[in-house]
């Protein structure tokens, strides 16, 4: 039986509950929901509606207030950051012939229908590919060195958020990365069996939420 993929809002509710219980400092980095006006302004600049999964995610949290490792490899951008990153990449691509694939690459450096929803630690954008076709909605990396990379890409944002929520509440990994807690009280994702980060110990993150105490039997 195929497992139902949770919607972004359902996954964020589970992620929020886990963070609020185990990592309140990281939970505090999540911004409040985006406003309808902010979404409309962003869509005017991009010239296209935001992907449905992304718009739903932004209605839960308008990205984060500072770079974080709440998610495995990507720090969610606020809608203002989405617009800024898209405009910057469009300008750079236009100046450097980056909108067309080079002969040795399958993808261009940037495409107008790539929506940058998150960033990696080195500043690359994780994008939602809005180009029409069977791969519409997939996630990939772009805007750093080389052409866009959709190798082993997530089929959509909902699938990624679902996998994160499942790992936090039921255990397991997200594409080989597991959640850990740092000595500073933050989140970190790494391979199974990782014991330290920059010389400091890591602890496996707790799975799920504490169960409420059992109610005593009534006399």
The string of DSSP codes covering 132-193 is SSTTTT-EEEESSSSS-B-TT--S-HHHHHHHHHHHHHH---BTTBEEEE-TTS-EEEE-TT
Contact between residue 21 and residue 209 where contact means Cβ atoms under 8 Å apart: yes
What is the residue extent of each domain of the chain? 8-159
Strands 75-76 and 114-119: antiparallel
Closest CA to 83 of 53, 44, 51: 44
Rounded (to 5) percent helix, strand, coil in the chain: 30, 15, 50
* H/E run at residue 127: strand 125-129
Contact between residue 177 and residue 190 where contact means Cβ atoms under 8 Å apart: yes
pLDDT of residue 110: 96
Sign of CA dihedral 210, 7, 73, 49: negative
Question: What is the phi/psi pair of residue 190, to 5°?
Answer: -155, 180
Angle between the N-to-C axes of helices 52-60 and 8-22, in degrees from 0 to 180, rounded to the nearest 10: 30
Q: List C-alpha distances in Å: 55 to 60, 86, 184, 213.
A: 9, 16, 32, 38
pLDDT of residue 219: 46
Cα 54-58-59 angle, rounded to 5 deg: 120
Question: Which tokens go with 99?
Answer: 């909108």
CATH class name, domain 8-159: alpha beta
Question: Which tokens go with 158?
Answer: 């909902």
Question: pLDDT truncated to tens, each residue of the chain (219 aa)?
Answer: 568 999 999 999 999 999 999 999 999 999 999 999 999 999 999 999 999 999 999 999 999 999 999 999 999 999 999 999 999 999 999 998 889 888 778 899 999 999 999 999 888 999 999 999 999 999 999 978 788 999 989 999 999 999 999 999 999 999 999 999 999 889 999 999 999 999 999 999 999 998 766 666 654
Cα 206-188-14 angle, rounded to 5 deg: 50
Question: Which tokens go with 81?
Answer: 């950051």
Give pTM, 2 decimals. 0.93
């Amino acid at each position: 039986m195929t497992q139902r993929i949770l919607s972004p809002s359902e996954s964020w509710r589970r992620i929020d509950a886990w963070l609020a219980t185990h990592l309140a400092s990281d939970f505090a980095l999540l911004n409040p929901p985006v406003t309808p006006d902010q979404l409309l302004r962003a869509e005017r600049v991009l010239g296209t509606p935001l992907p449905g999964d992304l718009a739903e995610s932004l209605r839960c949290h308008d990205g984060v207030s500072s770079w974080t490792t709440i998610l495995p490899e990507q720090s969610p951008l606020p809608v203002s950051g989405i617009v800024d990153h898209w405009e910057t990449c469009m300008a750079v691509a236009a100046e450097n012939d980056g909108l067309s694939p080079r002969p040795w690459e399958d993808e261009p450096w940037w495409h107008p229908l790539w929506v940058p929803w998150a960033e990696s630690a080195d500043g690359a954008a994780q994008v939602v590919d809005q180009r029409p076709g069977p791969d519409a909605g997939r996630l990939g990396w772009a805007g750093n060195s080389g052409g866009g990379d959709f190798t082993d890409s997530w089929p959509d944002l909902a699938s990624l958020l679902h996998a994160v929520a499942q790992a936090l509440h039921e255990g397991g990994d997200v594409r080989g990365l597991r959640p850990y807690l740092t000595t500073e009280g933050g989140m970190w994702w790494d391979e199974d069996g990782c014991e330290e980060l920059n010389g400091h110990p890591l602890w496996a993150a707790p799975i799920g939420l504490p169960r409420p105490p059992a109610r005593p039997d009534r006399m």
